[in-house]
Homo-oligomer: A and B are copies of this chain.
Amino acid sequence: MDLSPPQTVYMKKLNKTKVSKKKAGKTKADVGAAKARAPTSKARNRQPLEAKLVELKRRLLEISDLEAVDSVLGWDHATYMPKGGAAARSRQGAMLSRLRHERSVDPALGKLLDDLMPYSEGLADGSDEARLIRVARRDFEKAIKLTADYVARASANSSASYDAWTRARPANDFAAMQPFLEKAIDLSREYASFFSPYEHIADPLIDSAEEGMTTEEVRTLFAGLKRELRPIVRAICGQPPPSDACLRGSFDESSQLAFSLSVVKRFGYDLDRGRLDKTHHPFCSKFCLGDIRITTRVNERQFGSTLFAAMHEAGHAIYEQSIAPALEGTPLGTGASWGVHESQSRLWENVVGRSRPFWEHFYPVLQDRFPDQFRKVGLDTFYRAINKVKRSLIRTDADEVTYNLHIMMRFDLELDLLEGRLRVKDLPEAWRARMEADLGVAPVDDSDGCLQDVHWYGASTVGGGFQSYTIGNLLSAQFYGAAIKAHPDIPSEIAKGEFGTLRAWLCNHIYQHGRKFAPGELVPQAADAPMSIAPYMDYLHAKYGELYSLPQH
């Protein structure tokens, strides 16, 4: 697969040739036929760059495949691996990270991208190839800042930390996690240091999730959101809460999983290219376009978390399953950003999955599945129960209204840890204090506090991720609003258990493009406006105004 030595051929010029051909009245077929003939001198000139593009894609596919293989190891670790496998698995994951990193920073890749720049500048800005070269170049320039040693240490710590967390959470043993988290914070600072100078230490971390976004921008956005949310939460929590007793009882695992699977299948999650398994912490994992898996957790004493987690992960999976096949194996073959990705998990989980139209169709199906539990419970009672707003401890179980308070607290705590204003050993106490202040409740133990989810214990860095959950919430309402504006009959289709029109709109405007467009481009294209908190606040006021008395909007 070795290439002949690079030649300086400017594709800008070549592209102009192409345009002039079109102007001369030649059709696409003519051009194709000309290509099929023996190479002209122009074709010979183009050859080296075409070969370079092929070579670029081959290299990117290998990087993508190494990541996919690592994801298979990760999925297996979380689902079926016996505990004896942990040490070697961690070592094997570190090896794959190193191999991937070596390839991501190979100077030959940089040279290829340099050579292809003039070519990409001559292409239409929205073409797959122009975008591929641009994004691959950006990824390369970020990757070469990290050392191989850093990548291996970060991978080894996250894998060992994840393993320890699966034991520490049930044991309520924060002390066991303290060294791992301290190391993760150090690794996060080290990560940021590769990108200095920066305005804020979290900027390089946030940029990994939301291209171009800064700590300052997130703070401003969150300050506005907090201002608007506070009076709603105060108003709702001052009213007598609806009962959610109907969600507690006995709900056997296999029935919950079967019902969840039937729902996500109806959403459009393709089971020939995916599957649902059970894990501690739900996730979506992609091994290729044809194999994108989701997991959910199971609590047999309560109805809801299994289903809503499955819907959530299916949202991520449907997005990935719908990316244009032409983008597969390239850096464009994934979601636009974490926030945009999260907008789809939250759209399917909340905007659709907790909506009244959805349950008009599915509640009778659920009653058939769990007759003893739901036969005597009316739709309205059930709908109020699954949308009950309350001050609660666990982020992933939080309702749509208070959820963002959890996120904003996590975001602030991460900044405090990164800035060094908060020491890891003081985290449990800081967590309790902030929960009390922001949500009016505080956990008795760390299992329901700062150990409650895997985020700080299973990733190679801490910080720069949580903001995307709230961005996802904002965008879920914004995108759904745009889809409804284009197709006002979407809610009535949902009430028939049909999701085709909504899914097609999302696919056309978001999914198929993968990472071709940065969020700052994609959101205005899809929603006719830049990201803002207004559509989300409108959505909350409309939905929760019907369930509770709310202050004037």
Contact = CB atoms under 8 A, between A and B. Distances in A.
Contact of A82 (B62, B72, B89, B271): B271
Interface in A62-121: 62, 65-66, 68-69, 72-73, 76, 80-89, 91-92, 95-96, 99
B92 A275 contact: no
A273 B85 contact: yes
B69 A274 contact: no
Contacts of A293: 82
A272 interface: yes
A288 interface: yes
A84 B275 contact: no
A87 B288 CA distance: 9
Contacts of A72: 72-73, 76
A288 B68 contact: no
A287 interface: yes
A270 interface: yes
Contacts of A81: 291
Decide if the interface of chain A is mainly helix, strand, loop or mixed.
helix
B84 A65 contact: no
A290 interface: yes
Interface residues of A, number: 36
Contacts of A69: 69, 73, 92, 95-96
Given A72-B76, A73-B72, A76-B72, A65 B88 contact: yes
Contacts of A274: 82, 84
B85 A290 contact: yes
Nearest to A275: B82
A291 B163 CA distance: 15
A467 to B, nearest CB: 32
A291 B65 contact: no
Nearest to A99: B99
A80 B285 CA distance: 14
A80 B275 CA distance: 8
Most chain B CB within a 10 A radius of its CB, from A82, A91, A277: A82
23 contacts: A65-B91, A66-B95, A68-B92, A69-B92, A69-B95, A72-B76, A80-B277, A82-B274, A82-B291, A82-B293, A83-B272, A84-B270, A84-B290, A84-B291, A85-B273, A85-B287, A86-B290, A87-B288, A88-B288, A88-B289, A88-B290, A89-B291, A92-B288
Interface of A: 62, 65-66, 68-69, 72-73, 76, 80-89, 91-92, 95-96, 99, 270-275, 277, 287-291, 293
The 6 A-B pairs with the shortest beta carbon distances in the complex, nearest first, are: A84-B290, A85-B291, A88-B288, A84-B273, A65-B92, A84-B272
